[in-house]
A and B are shown apart, each in its own frame.
Chain A
Amino acid sequence: EVQLVESGGGLVQPGGSLRLTCAASGFTFSSYSMNWVRQAPGKGLEWVSYISSSSSTMYYADSVKGRVSISRDNAKNLLYLQMNSLRADDTAVYYCARENTVVGVWYFDYWGQGSLVTVSS
């Protein structure tokens, strides 16, 4: 059974840093690209970042570019999101999502349960 479990969320002051972790199990983690998607309280979904299976390619949303870094450890089946210079508008539930791709087709087929990040003084 595919499982994605996020951890590392919590309360952080504006300007602070936090690292989220997503533990993957039930599939060959090293074969899949992964993503982070967030959802501010009462708002819609916002894609945050992408990393390819081998870590050769990363993409970031403009809203987090320069402040956020995605990485992975295929030996440990872990996905990370390092967030720096956090702002109040970064407050959200952060989901990790597995990306399934066939030529020209992509979709997020499995999602974690989410980890809440609250940025407040």
Chain B
Amino acid sequence: QSVLTQPPSASGTPGQRVTISCSGSSYNIGSNTVNWYQQLPGTAPKLLIYSNNHWPSGVPDRFSGSKSGTSASLAISGLRSEDEADYYCAAWDDSLNGYVFGSGTKVTVL
């Protein structure tokens, strides 16, 4: 059971906006920054958003992150077929002294 809770699935039609939530606690999201990773089918994870709302080079600004209290969210605007993937949030956990990942959300483009 993951320390960070995400919905198992999310979906939308091309062009729509999809939001994925990530719920944690004061030990992780509440006191540390959140990163988001995208994992396309059969590939390694890729950094999508770091430090709550920053884009690594090459990531389109259709992806955006936010954090409030012990929760974070990832928004995908202008949904495209190539966005079909699994998305994971992650944060350092001060009580576990380790990194924790969310349970993952599978995004489907209808």
Give chain A's interface residues, CB within 8 Å of chain B. Answer: 35, 37, 44-47, 50, 59-62, 95, 100, 104-109, 111-114
Partner of B47, one of A45, A47, A109: A109
| A112 to chain B: closest residue by CB | B44
A72 and B16 CA atoms in complex are apart in Å by 45
Contact B99 A35 (CB under 8 A): yes
Question: Which of chain B's residues have a CB closer than 8 A to the CB of A104?
Answer: 33
Contact A47 B99 (CB under 8 A): yes
Q: Assuming the A-B contacts A44-B104, A45-B37, A45-B88, are A107 and B50 also in contact, with contact meaning beta carbons closer than 8 angstroms in the complex?
A: yes
Give chain B's interface residues, CB within 8 Å of chain A. Answer: 2, 33, 35, 37, 39, 44-47, 50-51, 56, 86, 88, 90, 92, 96-104
| A100 to chain B: closest residue by CB | B50
| A93 to chain B: closest residue by CB | B44
Q: How far is the CB of B28 from chain A (nearest CB, A)?
A: 12
Question: Which of chain B's residues have a CB closer than 8 A to the CB of A61?
Answer: 96, 98
Interface of B is mostly: strand
Contact A47 B45 (CB under 8 A): no
Count of CB-CB pairs between chains A and B under 8 Å: 60
Contact A95 B97 (CB under 8 A): no
Q: How far is the CB of A35 from chain B (nearest CB, A)?
A: 7
Contact A107 B35 (CB under 8 A): yes
Q: How far is the CB of A104 from chain B (nearest CB, A)?
A: 7
Contact B104 A45 (CB under 8 A): yes
Q: How far is the CB of B17 from chain A (nearest CB, A)?
A: 24
Contact A95 B56 (CB under 8 A): no
Contact A109 B101 (CB under 8 A): no
Question: Which of chain B's residues have a CB closer than 8 A to the CB of A112?
Answer: 44
Q: How far is the CB of B30 from chain A (nearest CB, A)?
A: 14
7 closest Cβ pairs, A-B complex: A107-B50, A47-B99, A44-B104, A111-B44, A45-B101, A105-B51, A107-B35
